[in-house]
Amino acid sequence: MKGKVQCPLGQQRGRLPPLLERHKIISLVREAVANGARKGQACRCIGISIRTLQRWTNGNIITTDRRSDTVNSSPRNKLSEAERLRILELCNSPEFASLPPNVIVPTLADRGIYIASESSFYRVLKSAKQLKKRSRECQYKLA
């Protein structure tokens, strides 16, 4: 039984090869085609799909990667730093210091207070490294 497909180019799958490496791969494919091989066969031997080769070339011109132009924006509903601090202060208060988020959030909801979802509480506590064990002996202090 086969495992995961290994990339023959010596890279991780899905990794973008640098432009110089891309030039080298394209020249190898062109050389193979000039010597009588089919383009698809040459691509398979190197370890790329024919579609990747088509994306990398525009006729005889080797194009740069278009994905590097994109800007990754943060989500609109991302918690602000003030909200994150409020969650940490609340979770580290004496009343809730020994409780996990799946108890804290419903308790606050019973009081009519909503700060963030339970998963957001878990995410904030995990990023602050306060999620391992929440017991009375292990109460966290805000630094």
Task: Average pLDDT across each block of 10 residues of the chain; the chain has 143 residues. List them in order.
Answer: 52 67 88 92 88 84 68 85 96 91 95 95 93 63 51
Contact of 85 with 124, CB cutoff 8 Å: no
List Cα–Cα distances, 38 to 31, 50, 86, 119, 135, in angstroms. 11, 11, 63, 52, 66
Domain locations in the chain? 19-67, 81-138
Task: Extract the tokens encoding 43.
Answer: 């691509």
pLDDT at 1: 47
pLDDT at 127: 93
Tokens 């909200």 correspond to: 83
pLDDT at 118: 95
pLDDT at 70: 61
